[in-house]
Structure 1
Amino acid sequence: MGTSKSYGGPKDRIPLLPSWAFPDAGNEQPSPTSPEDISSLQPVIPNSLQNSNQQSPVSNMNWRAAKSSLGKAFSGSGGSTNKSFARAGRSYVRALGGARKAASSSATGRSAAAALGGFFADVAKNGINGALQNSGLSLVVGKDAETVFAAITNAFAPSGSSREEAIARKAVSEALEALYERCSLEDGDITTLDRMDADDVRNVFEGVVNAYIYNRWLGELELVIEKKAISAQDAIRLERQVKEYISECVKLDIKNVDVLNMEWNSPSSHKFVEKIFTEAYSLLEGNE
């Protein structure tokens, strides 16, 4: 995209960013449009991908090894940072039952990634206003960037009422935050997105996948951080290291995928998205 800037990885919260960009924004509604209007907007999420309450296939598995590995990575007792995170990642994916089962139990994340990928593919082809209208979000056409992104979040991210939904919502919020920063939308001019191309769509899709895996991993093993009794500053630093590690090792091979002409709401898209999640978990499991 002509006016976009490179995204330098995860950053601490910046006060000037809108509330929708943060994972703990929950279901807050954008103020420029009434809550009643925004809540009436319905998400266009593929039916074949909806299964937000699917449970982990290994809910009774002993997570001791996975928690121990991540604890050693955080404490620095597991060797070099990359190797210790690699061991922790491999242990975690194995605790989920392997890459295939990890991807299969990521239904909420797959749904969110497909929905957001399809929406921004429409943006790249028809412009932001055209995509909003096509997705039933015509109420925010012509609004500023903050209002539009809040509506996109509420339309394509699950409500966050369950643990898995909260994880997927965080992933969508973080992917949108990265796009907001990359495209310099602080001035409110949403038409900058009219210059999105296929690579931008791939970046958004990859961003949801990576953020979902990160948030799920840390969410399921969050007590490891708490039990280490570390400072809030150290906790932020360590979580950022995990996020950066995932982004580095999970390099998705979708450069040749025609994301603009793919039918994101089709059964073949369902298979593609699950394949990508399986590949991502495989890379995390096998990276050393």
Structure 2
Amino acid sequence: MGTSTAYGGPGGGTPLIPSWLGSGSGSEPDTGQDEGPPPNSDDPPAPPAKPPIPKSADSQRFSGARNNFTRFAGSGGNDRASLGRAVSRYVSTSSGGARQAAQRMGASRGAGARLLGFLSDANTRGMREALREFNLESMAGRPISEVFVALADHICPGASTVDEGIAREAYIETIIDLAGEGLAGLDTFTPEQMDTVFELYATHAIEARICNDIGTKVVTMPSNAQVAHQVEKQLRDFIRGAVDDALTRARESTPNMTQDQVLAFVDSVYESAFSILQSLGDAEAEQ
């Protein structure tokens, strides 16, 4: 669905939250607890604890979302009820609820936080000072699309896994969208423009996550390119509406976000967006 990271979808027995996802931010808190006995202890050191193996999930948990999305795609985008059921079942059944769906965003959480942190810094201190943090102050005054390309390895530092590929592809799609949003020529951001950029990123990241989980090689898309594009656009617009509502709610609860709050803010947007998507999907399915 517009991403180069598409694959056949995870196996049904794949854990709801794969152990390799983590936070994607590299900023997991230190518990402050000692590892093993004190240096002078006579007891032999305990062997390091092995990480728990995640339990396998329902092997059929993706089938409902896949089948309904196939029906939606086969209708050329006309069967909105099937789109609603596909998205709702993805959140509720495939992912195990909005919170776990947000946790599955993995690297897109960290990348989203780094992007939003940069935008917030640029809004507060100015673009040149924000870029100075990355030794890119010479890019100040350049079109924002060029600035974002230069920042790509800082915002999305890896691309060796599907999860990291989703984060980077969403970032690239966001850069492409800047011109259509009237943001390509900016050298600074208003709070509203900052939110628009993050909204674009979160929308692309969620779309790519859903499509990779459902398995775009399993879903049959229309052979007509124009019809296929319409199917993709409807899904993206559906997701963006939820992200917009989630971002509005998050801003109301955290109007003055600090850099230390960025990751928690991003997590709240993702979780709220998935919750809204499930509700919107249920409403579409009932019409």
Q: Say if 2:83 is the partner of 1:85.
A: yes
Determine helix, strand or coil for the equivalent of 2:187. helix
Query: Which amino acid in the other structure matches residue 197 of structure 2?
Result: V
* Aligned mate of 2:187, from 176, 189, 193: 193
The Cα of 1:282 is off from its aligned counterpart by 0.9
Rounded to whole Å, the distance in 2 between the matches of 1:157 and 1:183 is 24
Determine helix, strand or coil for the equivalent of 1:223. coil
The Cα of 1:179 is off from its aligned counterpart by 3.0
* Aligned mate of 1:223, from 217, 228, 237: 217
TM-score of the two chains, using structure 1 as the length reference: 0.69
Determine helix, strand or coil for the equivalent of 2:252. coil
Distance 1:257-1:178 versus aligned 2 partners, 3 A rule: farther
Gaps in structure 2 of 5+ consecutive residues: 6-23, 30-52
Q: How many residues align?
A: 233
Distance 1:248-1:272 versus aligned 2 partners, 3 A rule: closer
Determine helix, strand or coil for the equivalent of 1:242. helix
Rounded to whole Å, the distance in 1 between the matches of 2:164 and 2:143 is 27
Pairs within 5 Å for 1:8-47:
47=26
CA RMSD of aligned residues (A): 3.2
Rounded to whole Å, the distance in 1 between the matches of 2:107 and 2:258 is 19
* Aligned mate of 2:266, from 248, 273, 277: 273
Partner residue, 1:74: 73
Distance 1:147-1:214 versus aligned 2 partners, 3 A rule: same
Higher fraction of helix? 1
Rounded to whole Å, the distance in 1 between the matches of 2:171 and 2:113 is 11
The Cα of 1:68 is off from its aligned counterpart by 0.3
Distance 1:92-1:46 versus aligned 2 partners, 3 A rule: closer
Rounded to whole Å, the distance in 1 between the matches of 2:105 and 2:163 is 8
* Aligned mate of 1:48, from 23, 27, 35: 27
Rounded to whole Å, the distance in 2 between the matches of 1:112 and 1:262 is 17
Distance 1:49-1:83 versus aligned 2 partners, 3 A rule: farther
Gaps in structure 1 of 5+ consecutive residues: 1-21, 26-44
Rounded to whole Å, the distance in 1 between the matches of 2:190 and 2:268 is 23
**1:209-240 deviation digits (Å, cap 9, x = unpaired):** 11111111122320244x35623433222112
TM-score of the two chains, using structure 2 as the length reference: 0.70
Q: Percent identity?
A: 25
Query: Which amino acid in the other structure matches residue 177 of structure 2?
Result: A
